[in-house]
Amino acid sequence: EIVRTVDDLIYPPPAVCPLCGRQCPELQEEILCPRCQEAIPFIQPPVCLRCGRPLRLAAANPCHECAGRPLFYQSARAVGLYKDYFRQIILALKYFGRLELAEPLGGLLAARFEDEPELCRTQAIVPVPLHLHRLARRGFNQAELLARAMAKTVRRPVFSDTLERIKATKAQNQLTLEERRSNVAGAFVAANTGQIRGRRVLLVDDIMTTGFTVSECARVLLAAGATEVHVLTLAVGVVEEQWLAGFLPM
């Protein structure tokens, strides 16, 4: 064992990508190996200033959806689009218990955080909570794991007991737009409000689709005394047929 430790110091083993597990000798400053970097559909500007979804160059900003919808969060940003390899990785954490993925994914959130001046001004992190029944079945809240992983880099306190989900909502991806809105209405309450009163708050979750869930969370946090609420997620859902062709000018 001692010989192996000395050998590792003299001839360190190649670095391993924390996402895919491949050896990557050139992995130094980057969080992920080049193959994972290329496989993730990172969001590039221009983006909607409210929801963070990518826009066509000629599109109005904020986008058509945000301009016509009451939203309680100040801004939302995401690392990438919810598709392909990135979707598989997020689902592996969420539904298949690949808890080791929380650290590298939290690193991606931290990097996105540091790219956004508005997010950097937030003073506390609040993960979107699960209902107690779902938490008991799953055994963990992926939003909290991601929030705590990113907090190691961005140095903000994480308050996982500020929001409570009191309504066992249905999965949003099974519902229509209007059903999604009513599904999360009244689903959250605030507790330990002194943690966020007078502070700018960052809400963290894994995926944002319509934004109704995080908007309802933001409404509750603002009512509890937060001065602003911003949102950061790993992924944002964009259905190109609707978003690019239907909502935005060509």
Q: What is the 3-state secondary structure (H, E, C) of the chain?
A: CHHHHHHHHHCCCCCECCCCCCECCCCCCCCCCHHHHHHCCECCCCECCCCCCECCCCCCCCCHHHHCCCCCCCEEEEEEECCHHHHHHHHHHHHHCCHHHHHHHHHHHHHHHHHCHHHHCCCEEEECCCEHHHHHHHCCCHHHHHHHHHHHHHCCCECCCCEEECCCCCCHHHCCHHHHHHHHCCCEEECCHHHCCCCEEEEEEEEECCCHHHHHHHHHHHHCCCCEEEEEEEEECCCHHHHHHHHCCC
CA distance 76 to 229: 9
Is the pLDDT confidence value at 82 over 70?
A: yes
Please measure the distance between the N-terminal and C-terminal CA atoms of the chain and give it in whole angstroms. Answer: 63
CA distance 2 to 192: 49
Place of tokens 């991601």: 146
Look over the chain and give the mean of its residue pLDDT values, rounded to a whole number. Answer: 86
Question: In this predicted model, which residue has the larger pLDDT, 185 or 248?
Answer: 185
Q: Model confidence over 6-31: pLDDT tens digits? A: 444 455 566 888 888 888 876 666 67
Is the pLDDT confidence value at 226 over 50?
A: yes
- The Cβ-side half-sphere exposure at 60, using a 13 Å CA radius, reads 10
Least confident of 19-28, 48-57, 90-99, 197-206: 19-28
Is the pLDDT confidence value at 69 over 80?
A: yes
Quote the pLDDT of residue 58. Answer: 65
Give me the amino acid identity at 131: H
Instruction: Name the packing angle between helices 212-223 and 177-184 (round to 10°).
Output: 30
**This prediction's pTM:** 0.87
Place of tokens 């670095």: 15
Place of tokens 């009513």: 182
Is the pLDDT confidence value at 234 over 60?
A: yes
Q: How large a percentage of the chain has pLDDT more than 70?
A: 86
Phi, psi angle pair for 228, to nearest 5°: -150, 155
Q: Model confidence over 104-161: pLDDT tens digits? A: 999 999 999 999 999 999 999 999 999 999 999 999 999 999 999 999 999 999 999 9
Quote the pLDDT of residue 77. Answer: 97
